[in-house]
Amino acid sequence: MTAALTRQKIPWWAAGTLLLLPIWAITYVGTLERVTREATGVLAHGAEVYERRCSSCHGATGSGGSGHQLSDGEVLVTFPHIEDHVVWVVRGSDGFGVGNPYGDPARGRIVEGGMPAFGDVLTADELIGAILHERTRFGESDQDGLLAEALDHAIHLGDLDLSGYLDRANTTSASIAELFAGVADHPDTEMAAG
Ligand code: HEC
């Protein structure tokens, strides 16, 4: 009897902990799942995309680097209208051509090169998400926050699918404006926005 007890490798108190382990594991995984589900939505996803694909040049907080500063509302000065912002990110510097103007004429930006084209790289969901992140987070644009909610709502209802790519040749300010207007006109949007 005494011999059997000394051979026991797991002390009694640790055995208790081991028994509780599966319960803890299930609770823990449950928590993870909940967090992941909450962190979906075009804006949350866009923050991740920005971090991965844009922050190396524009800074994690949008303060700029090899790419222009976007924070303190600078991004909205260049692109007062989101549709022009989308076209820029889809086509990049090469799509506009070095030496050509881009953005709001009052801003006076001329393409110098170095901004990659993301139309074939990011899905519409990722690309629009990163842009909404820039506009709401660095531009503090409430209007774009509402647009993000409206997009989430339309996606949730199955009325909008942004899983494809915005192709470089056919994406224009007008086509993007139309896409967003369709979402904003949605009969349920009032609810999502309010
Ligand atoms: C390799 C570096 C690089 C990466 C990565 C990059 N950019 Fe840029 N970005 C630039 C450069 C350089 C410019 C200026 C381009 C020019 O003059 O041709 C620019 C310009 C911009 C502008 C216009 C800013 C202004 O005020 O003129 C926006 C908006 C922008 N980028 C958004 C993005 C987004 C969104 C992403 C990620 C999806 C991104 N950029 C990734 C380098 C980068």
Q: For the segment 60-91, what is each residue's pLDDT rounded down to a tens digit?
A: 999 999 999 999 999 999 999 999 999 999 99
Distance 80 CA to ligand 1 centre (A): 16
Residue 55 CB–ligand 1 contact under 6 Å: no
102 beta partners: 109
Q: Which CATH architecture has domain 41-193?
A: Orthogonal Bundle (1.10)
Q: Per mean pLDDT, which of 8-17, 39-48, 113-122, 183-192 is the most reliable?
A: 113-122
Quote the pLDDT of residue 92.
98
Distance 85 CA to ligand 1 centre (A): 10
The whole-model pTM stands at: 0.81
Residue 109 CB–ligand 1 contact under 6 Å: yes
Q: What length does the chain have?
A: 194
Are residues 175 and 119 in contact, defined by beta-carbon separation less than 8 angstroms? Answer: no
Are residues 60 and 69 in contact, defined by beta-carbon separation less than 8 angstroms? Answer: no
Break the chain into its structural domains and give their ranges: 41-193
Distance 113 CA to ligand 1 centre (A): 9
Give residue-wise pLDDT tens across range 90-134. 999 999 999 999 999 999 999 999 999 999 999 999 999 999 999
Sign of CA dihedral 97, 121, 125, 172: positive
Helices (H) and strands (E) in the chain, counts: 10, 2
Residue 131 CB–ligand 1 contact under 6 Å: yes
In this structure, which residue's CA is closest to atom 41 in ligand 1?
A: 54
Sign of CA dihedral 88, 92, 96, 100: positive
Q: How far is CA 29 from CA 8, 20, 24, 175, in A?
A: 31, 15, 9, 42
